[in-house]
Copies of this chain bind each other. A is one copy, B any other.
């Protein structure tokens, strides 16, 4: 949990060897020009020099720092080097030399849509991130994504065999029925990541040049570290990596040569803002957080979600007796009674008539309540789909039969 000022080449000497699980580097690019950017209110200008004598100089500069990085990286650790098109090939040669060709794991393509002034040629809509591990036994957490829309999931569930020509065939039993295989987990994450470029208007924007979206960093951190692991960013800039590490419960170390950057980083760490990108909310499931379940329930009711309200999660689009109809979904850490009380309290304040409570948890001592009279005749209590299924299974004996493998 440190942020250090200085050249990482020197600062890395003070970090214990083999103590870091992930290093993410976003070094200055070889663009041969000065990067400048002002804060929104023009009060401050950040800048740093991106110019080098030659591409060989640049490569050596990076290589020296990569060597220092390798020292502090654990045997099971990984390094991610973020490049742009100008010099990605030279940087990768440097990585090959320091970490070894065999430890190359992936070239991650970060793609985004960007409105940019048209030049002759193709629009530049991606950047490259090279993923190397320190050894063969590197830590990796597979993230599973949904199947493609073109995939016949029904068929995915079928078991297969190989025939005499070693061609794969779907297995059928003696009656010609398909045979189903084990549970499937989904499709492992690809090396092409479609994550929106930081919107210039987004709150996340700090005004520091080359800032990367938190989502990109979160994904990297998730796949190669666990909670409590240590993340290092030797060119931390505005501190996106550290903010992401912090949000995910990882320890972090940041280094930068610029006092401005260090100051800004510390500020951001005190007050992290994550952009909730519209695109991500709609499309990409892998970023869904816990309360997405809630949102899904509200969506299936075609209800308007409400934020920051203890007793009400949403309202139906229709009114009943000229009053809005509030909906409350029981939270995992809430008893039924607590949920009910907070709904009734909130509804009364707004003088709503009809109210809906979605029950998501089974509670034995509730049997009393259900057989009793309803405490409010204009209350609808609905068991969630999930709960109904769980209850059915429970009442049919073996709950153990119903397991995620």
Give residues in A with beta carbon < 8 Å to B.
Answer: 38, 42, 55, 85, 88-90, 92-93, 96, 101, 104-109, 111, 113, 115, 117-126, 128, 131, 140, 142, 146-157, 165, 167-168, 177-178, 180, 183, 186-192, 196, 223, 278-279, 282-284, 287-288, 292-293, 296-297, 299-302, 304, 306-309, 312, 315-324, 349-351, 354, 356, 358, 380, 382, 384-386, 388-389, 392-393, 398, 401-405
A393 is contacted by which of B106, B154, B320 (Cβ under 8 Å)? B320
- Cβ of B146 and Cβ of A192 under 8 Å apart? no
- Give every chain B residue within 8 A of A351 (Cβ-Cβ): 177, 180
- Give every chain B residue within 8 A of A177 (Cβ-Cβ): 349, 351
15 other A-B residue contacts (CB within 8 Å) besides A111-B192, A299-B299: A85-B107, A118-B142, A123-B188, A149-B284, A152-B308, A157-B350, A180-B323, A296-B300, A300-B300, A300-B384, A300-B386, A301-B389, A316-B389, A321-B398, A380-B392
- Cβ of A109 and Cβ of B93 under 8 Å apart? no
- Cβ of A124 and Cβ of B191 under 8 Å apart? yes
Closest residue of chain B to A55 (Cβ to Cβ) is: B101
> With A89-B88, A188-B123, A324-B180 known to touch, is A385 a contact of B151 (CB < 8 Å)?
no
Closest residue of chain B to A323 (Cβ to Cβ) is: B180
Question: CA separation between A125 and B134, bound complex, in Å?
Answer: 23
Question: CA separation between A388 and B318, bound complex, in Å?
Answer: 15
A389 is contacted by which of B178, B307, B380, B393 (Cβ under 8 Å)? B380
Question: CA separation between A89 and B157, bound complex, in Å?
Answer: 36
> With A115-B155, A284-B149, A304-B153 known to touch, is A192 a contact of B126 (CB < 8 Å)?
yes
- Give every chain B residue within 8 A of A107 (Cβ-Cβ): 85, 88, 126, 128
Question: CA separation between A308 and B322, bound complex, in Å?
Answer: 41
> With A131-B122, A300-B297 known to touch, is A38 a contact of B165 (CB < 8 Å)?
yes
Closest residue of chain B to A133 (Cβ to Cβ) is: B121
- Shortest C-beta distance, A140 to chain B (Å), equals 6
- Give every chain B residue within 8 A of A180 (Cβ-Cβ): 323-324, 350-351
- Cβ of B189 and Cβ of A315 under 8 Å apart? no
> With A109-B111, A126-B191 known to touch, is A388 a contact of B380 (CB < 8 Å)?
yes
Closest residue of chain B to A324 (Cβ to Cβ) is: B157
